[in-house]
Structure 1
Amino acid sequence: MNETKQEMNKIQEIKKVNKYSFKKDLIFLLLKILLIICVMFLIFSFVYGIARTNDISMKPAIKDSDLVLYYRLDKNFVSGDVVVFKKNNRIMMSRVVAVAGDQVDITKDGLMINGAVQISQDIYSDTTQFKDGTDFPLTVGQGQVFVLGDNRTVASDSRIYGCLNINDIKGKAIAVIRTRGI
């Protein structure tokens, strides 16, 4: 009888330890999940960003409703980079075609950077000026870039609102996530 009581006491102690261990493990798991969520929030608040395309200015490279992952910390833009920026309360994307010190002109021959006609195999329409847009030729100022959309006939870009200040650019596109038409 005495042995049976001792065995029962041992079983109860094991149950208490297991119950305590389960609660401890559950709390530890929840803390890990909370930490991961906080780290992801900080990363996507200060290092990376995600934007949804709401127009066809960059078609066919970036289509309407695609998600674009962009990197916020690199502000050294070069010709060819796709940048994400906010203009007129809209998130927009365009390709950098000229940087500080470059002279941009749009003539009947097309886009000219520093006197050389620019030919790109990914641009399917002519680059033309807009009637009430920017006056050409222009020189890109220090701390600015000149951007154009790939879909030149309908794109809202620097031909309308002039050069972009680098500080107004949210970041450089690093990945496109296609959300429809797959």
Structure 2
Amino acid sequence: MKKSVKEDLMFLVVKIMIFLALLGITFGIIFGICRVSGNAMDPACKNGDLILYYRLQKAYQAKDLVVIEKDGERQIRRIIAKEGDTVDITESGLEINGYLQQENNIYTDTLPYREGIHFPVTVGQGEYFVLGDNRTNAKDSRIYGTVKQEEIKGGVMALLRRSGMQ
């Protein structure tokens, strides 16, 4: 016996609904997409770039790019130090656990902000110290202090450059 057009159409609708549900679960629970706004991560991430991040990642290392939510806004920042590390920023630059850091791909000086936190800072349990790559224009841990694990939404997996795209 042949299936009716109505049955075929219902089967197609069910397949589309299942596909959309799986897509919703994938991008609602496992992965996230975020748009870079501003130049705080320049040159690694530029204004308008799209970031794909992994929401289930819970362990991070220094130099990892992460998406955080701070003061109601999503930001992309680089982890500089994790729990137990001592961060100091002086006129000489960024020091982690007493060692002056030589950072590749950071083209501006790392200096403390006048209105920010006081150094040195020891990163507490379940916390991270994050900085923007464009150190002169980034609102980061120098302003608001360490970031709690719960404020990190995920680790950056991929970057889609949008320069020139409308």
Q: When the two structures are superposed, what TM-score results if normalisation uses the length of structure 2?
A: 0.95
The partner residue of 1:157 within 122, 140, 159 is: 140
User: Which runs of structure 2 are paired with 1:92-107 in the superposition (5 Å)?
Assistant: 92-107=75-90
Measured after TM superposition, the shift of residue 58 of structure 1 is: 0.5
The partner residue of 2:73 within 90, 95, 98 is: 90
User: Which runs of structure 2 are paired with 1:73-88 in the superposition (5 Å)?
Assistant: 73-88=56-71
The partner residue of 1:28 within 2, 7, 11 is: 11
**1: CA distance, partners of 2:39 / 2:73:** 13
**2: CA distance, partners of 1:60 / 1:160:** 21
Provide the aligned length of Structure 1 versus Structure 2.
165
Instruction: State the percentage of identical aligned residues.
Output: 45
Correspondence for 1:14: none
Higher-helix-fraction structure: 1
**2: CA distance, partners of 1:117 / 1:82:** 21
Correspondence for 1:3: none
2:153 paired with 1:167: no
2:34 paired with 1:63: no
**2: CA distance, partners of 1:28 / 1:124:** 57
Q: When the two structures are superposed, what TM-score results if normalisation uses the length of structure 1?
A: 0.87
Q: Which runs of 4+ in 1 moved over 6 A?
A: none
Measured after TM superposition, the shift of residue 26 of structure 1 is: 2.1
The unaligned stretches of length 5 or more in structure 2 are none
Correspondence for 2:23: 40
- Partner secondary structure for residue 53 of structure 2: strand
**1: CA distance, partners of 2:159 / 2:46:** 9
Pick the structure with greater CA Rg. 1
Q: Which amino acid aligns with 2:141?
A: S
- Partner secondary structure for residue 30 of structure 1: helix
CA deviation profile, 1:117-158 (whole Å, cap 9, x unmatched): 111121000000000101000100000000000000000100
Q: Cα RMSD (Å) of the superposition?
A: 1.2
**1: CA distance, partners of 2:92 / 2:9:** 68
Measured after TM superposition, the shift of residue 46 of structure 1 is: 0.9
Correspondence for 1:8: none
**2: CA distance, partners of 1:89 / 1:74:** 21
